Structure 1
């Protein structure tokens, strides 16, 4: 078999692994956003197509790419909702009731942060959680952990750097 054929087989296998690992969860997520089961199939297909066109996603372990795929699917749903074919206005007699904001985006971001925090060392994670989620200062964290304040500052600095990289790997670009 020629090397071009073996590369194609490898890409097919990686794409199949992505499908096996993520198609159902992405489909369920899209259905929860849109309520459209057949439209969800199209979004999953487009998400996999974009993964196929993104070599660094295919090169990664399929178990680590779910956040990227969910983000792509979410953007596809948003793009479709904003598209011209969806914006046709239909006059109505009564104004519709005001919609209630849901917490989907906040929940999704919390899941991404939690996944990223799990990739950090226990020392870095402990200091970050104590400072940002516990609201404690450097001196208080140092006293609680029995370590010097400089060590707390260092762990906080390097932990935040690692957290930023972990979030970037998951498609968060802030």
Structure 2
């Protein structure tokens, strides 16, 4: 049992000496790989030293210095960390979530429906009838023309002018917002 404690102490001493001897150079190298991100570089340094501790056979390697082994492990860890970050979707802050409407909240849809109803009421009966046939009942131009007893060209013309009137009378409507949504 005394030998196990002595071995653990020796490993800790060797690791402390490894960090003292190669730590600053390795940290500088890792700072370059992380584009100057001090926190990431320090995390990678700690992970590299942990790997050295987990692989004591690396201390027995026939090399004069552990530095090439440490730099190789650190570089591979940096590459893996970067790939991992790029594989995940970008994180968003709370400020974006605060300005985004809750999909479960039906208030915005109810207000929009009331606005549309009020705007449709401002149309002439002929224009309103065409929109009801095409947009609310889902009929084609030919079907709406047949149902209303007017030519198809008249249905097209009335729907065009009715939609223009709605665009002007709906609150908050802008052509730029409509064209970017399309």
Rg (Cα) greater in structure: 2
Q: TM-score, normalised by structure 2?
A: 0.45
**Length-normalised TM-score, structure 1:** 0.46
